[in-house]
Structure 1
Amino acid sequence: MGAIDTWLEGLMQGGAGLGLILLVSLLLGLRHASDPDHLAAVTTLVAADRGTVKTAASLGLTWGLGHGTTLLVVGLPFVLLGRYLPEAAVQAAEVAVGVLIVFLAARLLLRWRRGMFHAHVHRHPDGEPHRHLHGHASGPEHQQHSHVTPFRTPFSAYAVGLLHGVGGSAGLTLLLVSTIRGPVVATGALLIFALGTALSMALLSTFFGVALARGPIARHFDRAVPVFGVLAACFGIWYGLGALEVVAYPM
């Protein structure tokens, strides 16, 4: 991924025209959505909700819009003033992203521990067997099941995107300030980048939604949840420690 970023950033240097700058900004936004920290956060969001594919796409899009909002609010003043974010602020933002990923993973594991992803096969009057996720109530009535699944609103996904965007604003601001001459063009590139990130994350979340709703993962979703949670938590810890320079990033 680093080589792709370097190549795209190189296209913006050397007096690139407005059209090329905006195109590269869109491509960078589409590529930015595939960063591992973004995928870890959105995967836990989609897994925790596990609604329809449409719901997964909605969560990804609203996460991307929240991420883009932070990019604009934080990045735009620095782009217009030709300044950079302080190194301490960049480090704190990256650590916060790691903490956020661990929080989402822990919340997913807690819901799994409470039985919110337990599944049963049902046969309805039409004779077609199919699986439902159930939440198990605690207490003597635990054998009664409801068809209510965990639900995360687009607003909460937007809020997570807002927090996550803080970590991405530093690198983007540095890129725009160092390679684009003129605040108007830089502002346009910032808007295109944010839009590309939101659209790309919607597509990636749709893919995750399809994977979670169909195929082998869907049939064993209650067993897959702790794997998602543990992997995301480990990644979040590693990401935060990397920001503190306790461990090394591989790229």
Structure 2
Amino acid sequence: MISFLLLGFFIGMSHALEADHLAAVGALATSGKTTPKRLAFLGMSWGAGHTTTLLLLCSIVMVFGYVLSERVEAGMEFIVGIMLILLGIHVLWKMYKGRIHFHVHEHDGNQHLHAHSHAGDK
């Protein structure tokens, strides 16, 4: 039993590091204050939402013997894609509204990039 739990944990961890999750969490994490408390709450909320959804779907499958059709799976993937596009638009809008822009400059021979916000400038 422990080996199944560990397998599930490690598969879940690798799934959490996939590009769609990183993009979504990154967009959400930068949409407000970035205090450790807020980021921890965001991470726990994200995890609780995923866990609740999985428990609900898996319970339906196990109790009723329901199998998700390819059409339902494709629909769910489509919804995820739309959500990622909307999150990307949200980030771009926040950058535009906050007048965020990037500067490349050099210190001591090392060239690097900085993001700057002039949200308070009038």
Scaled to the shorter chain, the TM-score interval is: 0.7 to 0.9
How many residues end up aligned between the 2 structures? Answer: 108
Q: Structure 1's 116 and 58: CA in aligned 2 closer, same or farther, altered over 3 A?
A: farther
In structure 1, runs of 5+ residues without a counterpart are: 1-17, 119-215, 223-251
More contact order relative to length (CA 8 Å, sep ≥ 6): 1
- For residues 187-208 of structure 1, the C-alpha deviation after alignment (integer angstroms, 9 at most, x for no partner) is xxxxxxxxxxxxxxxxxxxxxx
TM-score (norm: length of structure 1): 0.39
Q: Does 1:58 align with 2:47?
A: no
* 1:220 is the counterpart of 2:110: no
After superposition, the Cα gap between the structure-2 partners of 1:45 and 1:71, relative to the gap in structure 1 and judged at 3 Å, is: same
Quote the offset at 1:84 in angstroms.
2.0
> Counterpart amino acid of 2:73?
V
Normalized per residue, the structure richer in strand is 2
Letter in 2 for 1:56: L
Q: How does 1:87-106 map to 2 (within 5 A)?
A: 87-106=70-89
Aligned to 1:42: 25
Percent identity, aligned pairs only? 33
Larger helix proportion of the pair: 1
Query: Which amino acid letter does the alignment assign opposite residue 67 of structure 2?
Result: Y
Corresponding residue number in structure 1 for 2:5: 22
Deviations 1:205-243 (A, max 9, x none): xxxxxxxxxxx77x5254xxxxxxxxxxxxxxxxxxxxx
Unpaired runs of 5+ in structure 2? 102-111, 118-122
Give the deviation of 1:50 after TM superposition. Answer: 4.2
SS at match of 1:59: helix
Cα deviation digits, residues 34-65 of structure 1 (max 9, x gap): 12111110011012224213322221221121
